[in-house]
């Protein structure tokens, strides 16, 4: 199982929660029960995934940035082909328990449409899905049709057996095109092999200007405390304006809207450790904090930052409660092919974030790599030449008899 790989700059003390919610609907629209259920499941998964990454030893003093929306969407498409205990585990991790498949699919379909930015919006927000299946390999039409209908995930045929590198480049080119060339080389050569049969991809791209921009003239070099014993310099942006704000004994919190007010960034500065705070943050706690925020004139100091991350999430998702999906002998994705002959070999996630005086640009992509299980060829013992045999007393491991058959006796005809 691949380890979680993380790359970034020095750790930040502020925890950034990037929210893309059904608030992109007009004020006249209300989220349907299906959309609300999916959005709630995604929020739960978002914090659980963040906390799992946050808890890893190799995340200490490292930046963290993921698009749980991208990961959950890619896994939701994979979930559509899961069955049995694999499905139960995935439902638990993704927050789908108690939700009927038709309601789940309808919820995701509506949510995907509502989060896409229309041309009249003041920001860009694009979400795209696709399937990449091995040519001449059987996939159930009920599975591919559902992905196409509910996730706008077109089915593409590639050749992982005879043209693996060409297939990899084709998938990566699609990802680059859907993320304004911000996510490149999502899939590495080592991520695919001759047994790869299906790759499910999701890509998300966001670009928006602040509703209240920072003036670059006010940006200055300022100290940033990574730990009490480690202080670095940062390009600190600054502005005075009215924003939703909350200050308590445990944190200071501000919400910075992007133009159009459909999308915002919520920045949480804990009084204590950001790692410890993030480990305990729940959807209920986040909702309660946001409800307590009130407009206030605030002097905001925010570091300008830009970095990329890359994760292999198999270990994280395994630890979160869906190990069977990654076990060759236990995975059941028979809804994809009609047989339980596939398992997840990789869940690859790559993301980038650029926050500056004008606004923010973020992109992420997720690939779920499905691999065929090893073909079990029955072993054969054909004693058609001289052989040795032993009769052993197992409790004492004593050899009671030993012999060799060099010439079997002539068969005796039996009565019919």
* Ordered structural domains, the chain, with CATH: 15-210+305-372 (3.30.497.10)
Task: Indicate the range of 50-54, 169-173, 321-325 predicted with least confidence.
Answer: 50-54
The pLDDT value recorded for residue 102 is 86
In angstroms, rounded to a whole number, what is the distance separating the alpha carbons of residues 101 and 109? Answer: 12
Report pTM. 0.86
Average pLDDT of the residues of the chain: 85
Quickly state the pLDDT bin for 277 (edges 50, 70, 90). Answer: confident
In angstroms, rounded to a whole number, what is the distance separating the alpha carbons of residues 310 and 315? Answer: 14
Quickly state the pLDDT bin for 215 (edges 50, 70, 90). Answer: very high
The pLDDT value recorded for residue 81 is 96
Question: Which of 306, 361, 352, 307 lies closest to 123 in space, CA to CA?
Answer: 361
The pLDDT value recorded for residue 62 is 83
| Over residues 212-234, mean pLDDT | 91
Q: Which two tokens stand for residue 28?
A: 């006249």
More confident residue, 61 or 159: 159
pLDDT at 25 over 50: no
In angstroms, rounded to a whole number, what is the distance separating the alpha carbons of residues 291 and 14? Answer: 20
Quickly state the pLDDT bin for 313 (edges 50, 70, 90). Answer: very high
The pLDDT value recorded for residue 15 is 33
pLDDT at 101 over 90: no
Q: Could you tell me where the DSSP H helices lie in 246-305?
A: 274-280, 283-292
pLDDT at 2 over 70: no
Q: Which two tokens stand for residue 311?
A: 């994760």
pLDDT at 138 over 70: yes
């Amino acid at each position: 199982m691949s380890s979680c790989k993380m790359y970034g700059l020095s750790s930040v003390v502020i925890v950034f929660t990037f929210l893309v919610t059904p608030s992109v609907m007009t004020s006249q629209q209300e989220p349907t029960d299906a959309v609300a259920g999916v959005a709630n499941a995604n929020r739960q998964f978002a914090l659980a995934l963040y906390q799992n990454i946050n808890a890893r030893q190799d995340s200490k003093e490292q930046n963290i940035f993921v698009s749980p929306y991208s990961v959950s969407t890619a896994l939701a498409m994979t979930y559509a082909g899961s069955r049995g205990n694999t499905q139960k585990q995935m439902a638990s991790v993704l927050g789908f328990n108690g939700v009927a498949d038709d309601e789940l699919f309808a919820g995701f379909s509506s949510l995907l449409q509502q989060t896409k930015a229309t041309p009249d919006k003041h920001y860009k927000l694009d979400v795209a899905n696709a399937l990449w299946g091995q040519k001449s390999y059987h996939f159930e039409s009920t599975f591919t049709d559902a992905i196409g209908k509910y996730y706008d995930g077109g089915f593409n045929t590639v050749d992982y057996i005879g043209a693996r590198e060409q297939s990899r480049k084709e998938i990566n080119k699609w990802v680059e095109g859907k993320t304004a060339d911000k996510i490149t080389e999502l899939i590495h050569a080592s991520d695919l092999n001759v047994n790869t049969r299906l790759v499910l991809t999701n890509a998300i791209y966001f670009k928006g200007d602040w509703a209240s921009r920072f003036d670059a003239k006010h940006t200055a070099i300022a100290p940033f405390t990574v730990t009490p014993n480690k202080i670095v310099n940062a390009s600190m942006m600054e502005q005075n304006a009215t924003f939703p704000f909350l200050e308590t004994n445990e944190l200071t919190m501000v919400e910075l809207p992007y133009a159009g007010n459909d999308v915002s960034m919520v920045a949480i500065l804990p009084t204590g450790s950001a790692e410890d705070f993030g480990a305990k943050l729940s959807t209920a706690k986040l909702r309660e904090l946001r409800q307590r925020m009130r407009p206030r004139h605030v002097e905001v100091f925010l570091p300008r930052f830009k970095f990329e991350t890359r994760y292999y999430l198999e270990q994280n998702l395994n630890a979160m409660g869906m190990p069977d999906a990654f076990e060759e002998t236990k995975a059941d994705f028979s809804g994809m092919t009609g047989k339980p002959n596939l398992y997840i070999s990789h869940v690859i996630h790559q993301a980038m974030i650029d926050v500056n005086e004008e606004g923010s640009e973020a992109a992420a992509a997720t690939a779920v790599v499905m691999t065929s299980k090893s073909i079990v060829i029955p072993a054969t013992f054909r004693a058609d030449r001289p052989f040795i045999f032993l009769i052993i007393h197992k409790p004492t491991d004593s050899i009671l008899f030993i012999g060799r058959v060099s010439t079997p006796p002539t068969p005796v005809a039996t009565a019919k």
